[in-house]
A and B are shown apart, each in its own frame.
Chain A
Amino acid sequence: MASEFLRLRLRQFANAGQLGTPQLVRVIIGVVYAAAMTVLLVLVLIGLRDAQPDTARTAVVLGGSVVLLGFFVVPLLFPVSDRMDPRAFSLFGFTPETVARGLLAASFLSVPAIAVTIVGLATVVTWSATVGTALLAVVGAAIGVVTCVLAGRVSLSISAFALATRRAREAGVVVGVLALVVLVPGLVLLVLGGGTEAGGALGALESVLGWTPLGAAWAVAADAANGQWVLAVLKLLIAGATLALLWLGWKGLVALMAVTPSQEESVREHSGLGWFARTPSTPTGAVAARVLTYWARDPRYYAQLVIVPVVPVIAILVFLFVGIPVEYTALLPVPVMCVFLGWVVHNDVAFDNTAIWLHVASGRLGLADRIGRTVPVVLIAIPLIGIGSFLSVLFADQLSALPAVLGASTCLVLTGIGIGSVFSARFPYAATRPGDGAFTQPQSPGATWALAPGFSLLGTVLLSTPSIVFGVLGVFADPEYAWVSLWTGVGVGVVVAMVGIVWGARIFDRRGPELLAAAQRS
């Protein structure tokens, strides 16, 4: 029976040739990327054969855990339509077991599954020092690969089934963006830490992950190669149990989906207000809900957020290259991200294009408009500063610098909000139009296009200078200054944000028609 599912899957592959050109290009880019990554990883794994067994273990177990986590998490965060949905087979009279088995077999015919299979097999080469470890590596890799594919399959169905509602999908995307914004600096710090302490932190992480379902399968041969045969057997049991439980869960999910009607329509009707139901029903709350909805639904806003984690990563690589030690560079990512996070409001009005007429026609909405637009930034900034600052000082191993990082970051976000609130009302410049590709460059007449982004960024940094200077003194001279940095930063930030919002609101009320006229020109 499984052969029928496989044939159907092959048919879908063959039909890819009939896609439109843009989709085909995307498919080809995906395949080429996957092939390149596969080759790279295989080469790395072959190279690890001659490395220290302990180093090889750390790399394989951590890498394998990340891959398995990716298989499970990516479909949840970035839902795609499932072309092999179990519900599509519910009318053919198969038993759930048959469908579950057939779909699992068909799942191996996908680009990520093929890639992980090849990479998984390459781990056998890594552990091929002795016949025993090689055999264990075959078993471990087989379990690991099947677990990955099955996890991806289960997660795809969960995202199609449980996250079918718009609200759930929106929440998923918000979590995804938050995770990106918070995780990227975390990972960078992790790599930095690993680089200096020769895998100390990574090794510790590996020894934990090896005991979890994520890493157990990859740790089997690794432990054996390090001479720890008892641990290897225990981890083999954990990996086997993980796979068995996942398989039972998959069978149950198929059976459940077959008899559960799609809940999309009814839920959508009840929850039709989305963010609007969760914010106060005042003009300010409505603007906040609208902006949150757009941040979650409109790719132009993510495109704008991409810069937030990218700049600090580049900055830190440069600093490391010129030889600044980690205990200082680790303090940088959070403040640098805060500069760009606060800055994203500086052209927010232009993103609305001519739809801004609704705000102009509704009366004096300036204050509500200004405050509402800052809400998503604040919602991202709070976890970013809160968690990010802690991680920073932990990795820099300078707990006394915590107030400085908190102060400078808070100051940068708040002054960014204050200055941005004035700039977006006074100097809007052409932004990507609604519905255009998120990375399309807009036509940009006028000089404000060149000046507004630069000046708003410069102003943010200048106003935050006192807090930054005290922060630097706190790190290099006397930790007491770190506290001065915190109080200066919070004080300046709050004042600038409030003044900026009130001033921006007055400009918005006065120049509403001119804002609309500017939008009509772009």
Chain B
Amino acid sequence: MVRDLDPDDIVLEISGLLKRFGSTTAVAGIDLRVPRGSFYGIVGPNGAGKTTTLSMATGLLRPDGGSISVLGHDVWRDPAGAKRLIGVLPDRLRLFDRLTGRQLLHYAGTLRGLDATAVAQRSDDLAAAFGLGDALGRLVSDYSAGMTKKIALASAMIHSPRLLVLDEPFESVDPVSAQNVVEILERYVAAGGTVVLSSHSMDMIQRVCDRVAIIVEGAVPAQGTVDEVREGGTLEQRFLSLTGEHRNAEGLEWLLSSSD
């Protein structure tokens, strides 16, 4: 599904982004342009730099070079202005999980400057949308992995951001819940919001995203609409061709030696 988007109306612009950890270069000069109203997928193999890129884009990790701006606010020169516009779902970072679901939503909303009435109203709406109504009184540390993702996603959306940056939002979420999350995100995009998400699942990206960027070894060899990127094949085929030839299970012959 490709929506009619103005290619010059850019919400998130990343140019020349650079990040080194010691002697290894995690992100080597990435350029990305995410138009307003797009459902933008970022795919890549493990360790390609997806999380590093998204952390820098949301102000959680300081880049070594390049620039990132959200609707004209530079994330690293005007952090307050940019962060107001972004909702973040990081991967593998803790939540304040000794709070109940309701308290966590309240906390996330209040830190973003919402008043108590607005937070209460939106918490109820989000809980209903994500199917978390019964769980709001329980501690987040008692949630299942999928519910934890959902409460974190709800916390990311409570201040009605213009841009949602979601790192692996579907990981450990069951298929029914994943579909539920996709529908919520689609409604958000239809209303003018912009979603950037990373995922391991090519099928998911191909199905729900309209634009995609492939990250391999800290660079972006292909980006554009899903149709442009997959070049007639499936997204998975293009992905495998870009990440180097499909590795055979060579050297594992002993694993197959069930004949003797």
Contacts and interface: CB of A to CB of B under 8 A. Distances in A.
A136 interface: no
B113 interface: yes
Nearest to A433: B94
Contacts of B2: none
A353 B58 CA distance: 19
Secondary structure type dominating chain A contacts: helix
Contact of B110 (A282, A353, A357, A360): A282
Contact of A272 (B112, B137, B141): B137
Interface stretch (B79-87, B173-181, B221-229): B79-87
Interface residues of B, number: 38
Nearest to A365: B111
A276 B105 CA distance: 11
A510 to B, nearest CB: 10
A357 B93 contact: yes
A357 B60 contact: yes
Contact of B60 (A274, A361, A434): A361
B99 interface: yes
Nearest to B89: A361
B100 interface: yes
Interface stretch (A48-56, A293-301, A302-310, A449-457): A293-301
Given A272-B100, A365-B111, A353 B61 contact: no
B120 to A, nearest CB: 9
Interface string B81-108: 0011010101011111111101100111
B129 interface: no
B103 A355 contact: no
Interface in B126-150: 136-137, 141
A293 B99 contact: yes
Contacts of B58: 361
A437 to B, nearest CB: 15
A281 B61 contact: no
A286 interface: yes
A315 B155 CA distance: 48
B29 interface: no
B93 to A, nearest CB: 4
B115 interface: yes
B80 A276 contact: no
Contact of B79 (A290, A354, A363): A363
B116 interface: yes
Interface stretch (A123-131, A383-391, A408-416, A513-521): A513-521
B59 interface: yes
A362 B83 contact: yes
Nearest to A511: B62
Query: Which of under 10, 10 to 19, 20 to 34, or 35 or more describes the interface residues of A?
Result: 35 or more
B219 interface: no
B86 A361 contact: yes
A283 interface: yes
Interface in A496-522: 512-514, 516-517, 520
Interface string A434-454: 110000000000000000000
A269 interface: yes
A514 B58 CA distance: 14
A445 to B, nearest CB: 15
B216 interface: no
Residue with the highest number of chain A CB atoms closer than 10 Å, among B79, B92, B111: B111
10 contacts: A272-B102, A272-B103, A273-B102, A276-B110, A286-B110, A289-B107, A290-B103, A358-B95, A361-B83, A361-B86
Interface of B: 58-62, 79-80, 83-84, 86, 88, 90, 92-100, 102-103, 106-108, 110-116, 119, 136-137, 141, 155
Interface of A: 268-269, 272-274, 276, 281-283, 285-287, 289-290, 293-294, 297-298, 352-355, 357-365, 368, 434-435, 512-514, 516-517, 520
